[in-house]
Amino acid sequence: MSRINKTKIQDHITSDLSSESDDNLTPSFIFDNLHDKYSLNSKKHIYYKTFSQKVFTTGKRTWKEIYAASRTKGGSELIGGDQLNPDVSYLLPDTKFIILHCKDKFRIIGYRKRREFHILFIDPDGKCYKH
Q: Do 31 and 90 contact (CB within 8 A), yes or no?
A: no
* Domain assignment of residue 17, yes or no: no
User: What are the two backbone dihedrals, phi and then psi, of residue 24, each rounded to the nearest 5 degrees?
Assistant: -90, 5
pLDDT for 61:
93
* Domain assignment of residue 65, yes or no: yes
Domain count for the chain, please give it.
Answer: 1
Task: Tell me which DSSP letter residue 26 carries.
Answer: P
Q: What is the pLDDT of residues 42-100, one digit of tens each?
A: 566 778 888 888 999 999 999 999 999 887 777 899 988 888 888 776 676 778 899 99
* Domain assignment of residue 130, yes or no: no
pLDDT for 64:
92
Q: Do 101 and 71 contact (CB within 8 A), yes or no?
A: yes
Could you list the residue range(s) of the whole structural domain that residue 119 is in?
24-123
State yes or no: pLDDT of 7 exceeds 60. Answer: no
Alpha-carbon distance of 32 to 57, in angstroms, equals 21
Residue type, 42: S
Alpha-carbon distance of 108 to 128, in angstroms, equals 10
| pTM: predicted TM-score of the whole model, two decimal places | 0.80
pLDDT for 104:
80
Q: In angstroms, what CA-CA distances link 128 with 47, 64, 93?
A: 16, 25, 18
Mean pLDDT of the chain: 80
Q: Cβ atoms within 10 A of the Cβ of 124, count?
A: 20
State yes or no: pLDDT of 40 exceeds 60. Answer: yes
Nearest alpha carbon to residue 126 among 38, 48, 66, 46:
38
pLDDT for 70:
84
State yes or no: pLDDT of 25 exceeds 50. Answer: yes
